[in-house]
Chains A and B, each alone.
Chain A
Amino acid sequence: MSEPTNHDAEAALDLAAVREELAAARGRHYWRSLEELARRPGFEAMLTRELPRQAAHLLDAVDRRQFLQLMGASLALAGVSACTRQPTELIMPYVKAPEEIVPGRPLFFATAMPLGGVGTGLLVESHMGRPTKVEGNPEHPSSRGATSAFAQASILGLYDPDRSQTVTSAGEIRTWDAFAAALEKALEPEQGKGGAGLRILTETISSPTLAAQLQALRTAYPQARWHQWDPVASDGARLGARMAFGEDADVQYQFAAADVVLALDADVLASGRDHVRHLRDFAGRRKPGPGMNRLYAVESTPTPTGARADHRLAVRGSDVEAIAWALAAALGAVPQAPEGAAAAHAAWVQAVAKDLGAHRGSGIVVAGDHQPPVVHALAHAMNAALGNAGKTVVYTDPVIAEPVATLASLRDLVADMDAGKVAVLLILGSNPVATAPVDLRFAERLEKVPFRAHLGLYEDETAEISHWHVPEAHYLESWSDVRAADGTVTIVQPLIAPLYDGRTAHEVIAVAAGKPQSPFDLVRAEWKPKAGADFERWWRTALHDGMIAGTALPPKTPALRTDWVGTALTEHAKIEEAKGLEVVFRLDAGVLDGRFANNGWLQEVPKPLTKLTWDNAALVSPATAKRLGVVSGDVVEIAVGDGAVDMPVWVLPGQPDESVTLNLGYGRRRAGRVGDGVGVDVTPIRTSAAAWIALGAGVRRTSTRYLLASTQEHDRMEGRHLIREATLAEYVHEPEFAQHVEHQPGDDMNLYPPYPYEGSAWGMTIDLATCVGCNACILACNAENNIPVVGKDQVSRGREMHWLRIDRYFEGEAESPTIHHQPVLCMQCEQAPCEVVCPVNATVHSSEGLNDMVYNRCVGTKYCSNNCPYKVRRFNFYKYQDWTTESLKLARNPDVTVRAYGVMEKCTYCVQRISQARIAARREDRPVRDGEVVTACAQACPADAIVFGDINDRESRVAKTKADARNYALLGELNTRPRTTYLASVRNPNPELEKA
């Protein structure tokens, strides 16, 4: 063994230092550094010291070569591990356990999920430090305890193994410090120019902290520009308010106070800004009887809102404006309508106008996000004319920090990039390469920017052509703040340390401003001055409550201007009768603009109207399909302007004729292993001039077919009384209308003696009058019950695993059908057909009336599923669960078994929640209180349509809903005695239109 020759060198060469040195080297440089290192004096000494056993081989001439190979590999691995910042890992139990952590008991933390610039208040369930389930924050105005489907699915997004995990530069792994240094260097020349070359592109942002940071940065660089691009934000609403009022204004719709609602191509109840609150308020007014509201929907494509409407009018997206004009004129909101506007629907328009007029101050006219500004302006004018403004339609300042029309903002940026004015571009949390309209040629122009950095959750299309990519921290890993739609601020607090090397926009801006700071400090610093004397107490309260009281924006009363009417009329006159087909672009109900493309839950959840999964399709009406000679699954070529895409067709009743709806967000190239290449990218035919409605499209049939995986192949009820519905008048005349439709066998019709349910007897009702089919319940069930994702192939074979599905039926003629939704989960039959036929007693009845599934006992005969009239049982035809991906293991609910191959599974009424409540109640020696057990679906439901509880408790909510005259059992005539029953749907049509 050679003696150390140089003591200084030996001191310099300790393993940690070597690793650090190697950490900065990449690729071939890494290997060269390794060689140099091995030649350095002191290397052998270090080896002897650090790795004595291996060093012995070094002395043997024969082993030496092999040894160096081994060393190379082990040091290489050391280098790899140094790429990601390894947190200090102390493996030891808590010596002093944190007071609040009890193993097996979850904790809940309040936070908020930002989407489209506005936040939804959440309570997040955390098991031993890992978030597993999202619930709405009951105190928060935009949630009131419910959530959207996207919020539910965000848990899976957090643990997505495909999220970007490290800072990269030109595809090579780098460190955050290297990025910070590079950014500082890139900004050096800007300092002299006042930041003339600095551009920042974000999504729409309401975070006060980030807004302040951006403001400060622009103070330092006065010439710098902040652009925003967000396909989720509504430019139409923004510009429409400016048109009507001459100033920016946000609208808060008070559906709780609205008797009559007119939605102009607006899916206000199931998508877009604040829809959770909208639906909750709307559903509160949907109880049959006096005071039941009425909803009119004019729609360019069927949506959940239209499905629930009392009168639904399917018109082309470009015709909505004419109807708005006609209505506004009829209501006296504008002096006149264009000649012949909406002549075909004159009776409809008159009746609606009359109804709205009869409910002055208690009506709402709402325009859709995708409609042009003039429709929004007309809606404002109508609300003003009807006296709704200030009552049901409340105006505030915008919650967005700097309100802009995002498309115009992006266009400005693109022009600057093209002109070479942009030297440094920071893209924070947006993916414009995939989402920008095609004519902006964003990718091509982005390449002209000398320094371009991207912060994002994924190494997506934008990251691909950026110089630097920084992984973004998920909102469940971040400190931040966000405003709800009414302005209420929530401090976004992390539930878990960043899984990967995630950073927030706060940190990037802080670095750009030359003052790197942690987001925690930044957010606190922002709020400290506003908090009053005892900041720590204020801070804890704010975090605990999940909202800062008193931060809602005050109502304002912008004055309606009239100067726009004349111009708009002239503009409208210019719209000639559009030739050819119309193409309507919509955000997707699952993947939105593509940002959720790698989320398996959202890919697999059936879209509310089409029940399609894993694809977008060209939605056409039956008549148009007939004219084109196509059926669902035929591929057509859709051409708009210079672009064309090949898309499979899906024939959708209720779609207006000669109009094709295309959903955005598909055909992603770099979404991740789940979302790559799923569906068709429609951006090649989406231009900035016609971003939402494109006229004059050409559709040509091709000879190819394409497999679309739908979870519901049959749309009609076949004369069966599955969904029972009456008009309000019929209901008032006979409230029990739903109970005499089918013969319900009596209680004595049983071979076995009745089982006395002492103690609790769990039951559920689902109100079909308020359910809109928004999918929040399905996603909540996915997260709560560890439901696996099976993929398109398995869905197309009828093997999806959702315990809860929403059946959708069309009734009436295909052009204007009545659309129904019906959530179906295990009915927990008291006389369950599945139980008798199981040969091994794997599905048995509990003393509380639950139909329990014993996975361990199941041998997989599938007989129970065959004999289930509701077909709610799901079978593990393969090993569907991902048992290997580490991050997904963290996402699972530890209270629920992860099912193995070959066993049957189904809805359990969230038995784990029942057990928890029962244990808690027994410890306190009391019965389980009403409301103590809420199933995941009931908890998430924005419409509060699902009520769960103990039917033995006469005072419970569910006992009362079961006593409702509308209560009926689905397939009750089979004498299955389901514990889940339905409250029949009631609609409130306008008698005047009924007659017509």
Chain B
Amino acid sequence: MSQPPSTQEHPGVIPRPPFIEPGHTFESVTDKIGAIVLEQGVRRGWLVGFTIAFSLLMVLLVALTNLIATGIGIWGINIPVGWGFDIINFVWWIGIGHAGTLISAILLLLRQQWRTSINRFAEAMTLFAVACAGLFPVAHLGRPWLAYWLFPYPNAMGMWPNFRSPLVWDVFAVSTYASVSLMFWFVGLIPDLATLRDRSPSRVGRCVYGLLAMGWRGSALHWHRYETAYLLLAGLSTPLVVSVHTIVSFDFAVSLIPGWHATIFPPYFVAGAIYAGFAMVLTLGIPLRWYYDLEDFITMRHLDNMARVMLATGLVVAYGYMMETFCAWYSASNYEEFMITNRFFGPYNKLYWSLIFCNVVAPQLLWFKRVRLNLGLLFLMSIIVSIGMWLERYIIIVVSLHRDFLPSSWGMYTGTVWDWATFIGTLGLFSSLLFLFIRFLPMISIFEMRTMVPEAKIDESAEAHH
């Protein structure tokens, strides 16, 4: 009845490679993943990487200190371009986070088993990206110490935030997203934390992992509740994949600036986010599997699948660009037409054409299997897409603002050294957190990987016959 699909039943279909390389047992999976945390200790490569990341984190510290001490004038923003790197980076980081949630929640609900070996670190990536993103809406304020005014809380002033403002929607969207993602990630970690507790050679490790494991003993009841909770959280997360970036896109779509005021923004932003997110998963996954010998778990089939998702979402994004251009023409509005002309031929046209190259032209190579299976090219592609998605936000935010309705107030924008320092600093924050995660937590879900080994399959089918 529930025989595994075989080539015999589908003649002519080339067998697809498995999601875990042959030869693994329950034991070997646990050993291999657990060892990265428990036995390998601090490796030289990790130390070098972490040092660099931590130095960049210090750059962020300096940049933010200067920002508070000197004033937001250290950035390149002006009138008319009131948002620059701050909001570009905010949207970029939020977008990157999306892949994690998509992999965890939607692929789980769709029973895509291949998600298993990448979901853990994709979720971690989501959390860390949201942490980086969350910095910017606060830092970009003229008076960041009053950021809490954006929350609806009872106060002596009798003031509510303005619920008509998309920035208030953002507060809800992003904070919900961050908390649900954290829950989802943590709940998923519990069985593995228990494994680490049991296997940790040191007392400190046993204590800390023990605390975090919350008394997990692996009983059937535990597993039952775990499955229910995890599924519920997946259900909760699913709308978030769509809602967060939809609401972020409202920051622009709700306004009246040509280049912002577009109904296509929600789907186009969500697709862009997934696109960027998968690119980032590849950017992280390819070196990780190489450095920690995880080729058995993160197989070429995984990479191939992710490349396909990138290709698909990339095409949606390309459609978005096309429709923006079409609508500008179809609107017959002078301002809209000018906005597109200005993107094509204006002072920032080099950035626009770079964006088109990065996000539309280059990813077409992913149609070819040879490219998808070439690690070097795939890694390069993921970097190109990340750059492209950053440029997209630059084009949307800066290029729309710098020339809006009245030519008299047109201006130019360039990021200053402090804009760059803040951006690079968040890269430091992101990678610092990621390095700590790799060192202290299993980057691949051990117990879920165990369900992938052949032993698990056999048991399952055997039980089914009972």
Contact = CB atoms under 8 A, between A and B. Distances in A.
Interface string B154-173: 00000111101111100100
B142 A799 contact: no
Contacts of A409: none
Interface in B361-416: 401, 403-412
B161 A799 contact: no
A863 B254 CA distance: 11
A712 B71 contact: no
Interface string B115-146: 00000000000000000000000001111101
A808 B164 contact: no
Nearest to A869: B405
A838 interface: yes
A808 B408 contact: yes
A879 interface: yes
A871 B150 contact: no
A700 interface: no
B220 interface: no
Contacts of A866: 80, 82-83, 255, 257, 401
Nearest to B72: A877
A836 interface: yes
B142 A837 contact: no
Nearest to A798: B78
Contacts of B411: 713, 798
B79 A865 contact: yes
B82 A841 contact: no
B73 interface: yes
A876 interface: yes
Contact of A867 (B77, B255, B409): B255
Contact of B79 (A841, A873, A878, A879): A873
A69 B404 CA distance: 66
A974 B77 contact: no
B256 A867 contact: yes
Given A837-B165, A859-B143, A859-B147, A901 B79 contact: no
Contacts of B171: 839
A29 B251 CA distance: 71
Nearest to B171: A839
Query: What DSSP secondary structure best describes chain B's contact surface?
Result: loop
B329 interface: no
B338 interface: yes
B70 interface: yes
Contacts of A869: 256-257, 404-406
A837 B408 contact: no
Residue in B143, B150, B171, B406 whose Cβ sees the most chain A Cβ within 10 Å: B406
B79 A874 contact: yes
A866 B254 CA distance: 12
Contacts of B76: 797
Residue in A794, A838, A840, A874 whose Cβ sees the most chain B Cβ within 10 Å: A840
Interface string B53-86: 0000000000000000011110011111111000
Contact of A840 (B162, B251, B409): B162
A863 B82 contact: yes
A426 to B, nearest CB: 47
B334 interface: yes
A99 interface: no
Contacts of B150: 839-840, 859
A811 to B, nearest CB: 12
A323 B394 CA distance: 55
Interface in B409-466: 409-412
B149 interface: yes
A317 to B, nearest CB: 29
Contacts of B257: 866-867, 869
Contacts of B83: 862-863, 866
Contacts of A720: 334-335, 405-407
A980 to B, nearest CB: 13
Given A836-B165, A840-B149, A871 B404 contact: yes
A974 B335 CA distance: 11
A719 interface: yes
A859 B142 contact: yes
B405 A971 contact: yes
B15 to A, nearest CB: 55
- Chain A interface size, as a band, is 35 or more
Contacts of A871: 79-80, 404-406, 409
A88 B83 CA distance: 54
Given A722-B406, A878-B73, A902-B142, A840 B412 contact: no
Interface in A816-842: 822, 824, 833, 836-841
Nearest to A874: B79
Contact of B168 (A799, A839, A974): A839
B410 A713 contact: yes
A939 B51 CA distance: 64
A994 B242 CA distance: 62
Given A713-B410, A714-B408, A866-B401, A797 B149 contact: no
Nearest to A879: B71
A870 B161 contact: no
Interface in A836-857: 836-841, 857
Contacts of B72: 860, 877-878, 902
Contacts of B81: 798
B251 to A, nearest CB: 8
A860 B143 contact: yes
Nearest to B166: A837
B334 A833 contact: no
A427 interface: no
Given A836-B164, A861-B141, A863-B165, A877 B71 contact: yes
Given A858-B142, A866-B83, A879-B71, A974 B256 contact: yes
A875 interface: yes
Contacts of A838: 162, 165
Given A712-B408, A870-B406, A862 B71 contact: no
Contacts of A860: 72, 141-143
Given A720-B407, A808-B408, A840-B150, A797 B78 contact: yes
Nearest to B407: A714
Contacts of B338: 718
Nearest to B164: A836
A878 B71 contact: yes
Contacts of A808: 408
A809 interface: yes
Interface string A710-730: 001111111110100000000
B295 to A, nearest CB: 47
Nearest to B142: A860
Given A833-B255, A867-B255, A871-B79, A839 B406 contact: no
A858 to B, nearest CB: 7
Residue in A715, A722, A857, A866 whose Cβ sees the most chain B Cβ within 10 Å: A866
A837 B82 contact: no
A517 B311 CA distance: 92
Contact of B161 (A833, A841, A858): A841
B156 to A, nearest CB: 13
A807 interface: yes
A876 B80 contact: no
Contacts of A798: 78-81, 411-412
23 contacts: A713-B410, A720-B335, A720-B407, A797-B78, A798-B81, A839-B161, A839-B167, A841-B159, A841-B160, A860-B141, A862-B142, A863-B83, A866-B83, A866-B255, A869-B405, A870-B406, A871-B79, A871-B404, A875-B79, A877-B71, A901-B143, A902-B72, A971-B406
Given A718-B334, A866-B401, A874-B79, 14 more contacts: A714-B407, A717-B407, A798-B79, A809-B407, A837-B165, A839-B165, A841-B159, A861-B142, A862-B77, A862-B83, A869-B406, A877-B72, A879-B71, A902-B72
Interface of A: 712-720, 722, 794, 797-799, 805, 807-809, 822, 824, 833, 836-841, 857-863, 865-867, 869-871, 873-879, 901-904, 970-971, 974
Q: What 9 A-B pairs come out closest when comparing CB atoms?
A: A860-B142, A902-B142, A862-B82, A798-B78, A877-B73, A807-B408, A871-B409, A839-B167, A902-B143
